[in-house]
Amino acid sequence: MYTPSQIFVKWEEIMYIVMIGAPGSGKGTAAKILAKELNLPHISTGDIFREQIKENTNLGIEASKYISKGILVPDDITIEIFKNRLAKDDVKNGGIFDGFPRTMAQVKALDEMLVKVNKKVDLVIELKIPDDVIVQRILNREVCSNKECGAIYNSKFKPSKVPGICDICGSKLVARVDDTEESIKKRIKIYYENLGGMIEYYREKNILYSIVPEDPTSDKASEQAVNSVLQKINNR
């Protein structure tokens, strides 16, 4: 399902794409697939935060205070870390943003960052998944411990061939420390609280695709969503 019905985006003009979706919606997986298809860098604020926390940086220490409680990291911290990432060379010709922006303050900040380099957000993809499916996805989520791989599995919907072992690189699979039911529900609630203004803002700009996968419980739901986006754009 797509809204609005008319999106005036030319395939060859797409450079900066924003992925929107609740935690566990599969937007990260979809972003990785789309990044590969378009040969664009996948920029995940979640990955950046986890890296900062692991390295025990000042930013990581501050971010962990919120992440461990299932609370959205404040705008000032998030905007600053994203601004630093956007300044790197590999993002000069485009990128797929996963986890940023999440609030209207971040939306405005992103616009300002891109305007300074004569760029703009070209396409926004909203992946819509039922809340009950999201909870089950996250509670059963397993992630490859090898950061260079980062493959994501689900013991219920998309299990690895060998329990606890990544099919791709053979590394150990781990659960994220913030993947508790209480934390998940809190994150979903926060997501919806911030969503309305963002959706309307991007809809008015006529760059929004809202997609509901045919079978959100399928282990191919993210792939189906990406294929729908590629088909929609290629047909224009």
Residue 50 annotated to the active site: no
Residue 137 annotated to the active site: no
* Burial per residue of 172-204, b for 16 or more beta-carbon CB atoms within 10 angstroms, e otherwise: ebeeeebbeeebbebbbebbeebbeebbebbee
Distance CA 68, CA 204 (A): 35
Place of tokens 């008319």: 6
Amino acid at position 168, single letter: I
In sign, the C-alpha dihedral spanning 70, 212, 98, 226 is positive
Set 27, 32, 85, 158: catalytic member: 27
Residue 203 annotated to the active site: no
Set 32, 50, 85, 102: catalytic member: 102
Residue 85 annotated to the active site: no
Set 32, 50, 158, 187: catalytic member: 187
Set 32, 50, 137, 141: catalytic member: 141
Q: What is the DSSP string of 122-144?
A: -EEEEE---HHHHHHHHHTEEEE
* 8 Å CB contact between 222 and 30: yes
Amino acid at position 4, single letter: P
Set 108, 176, 186, 203: catalytic member: 176
* Strands 95-98 and 16-21, sheet pairing: parallel
Catalytic positions are 27, 102, 141, 176, 187
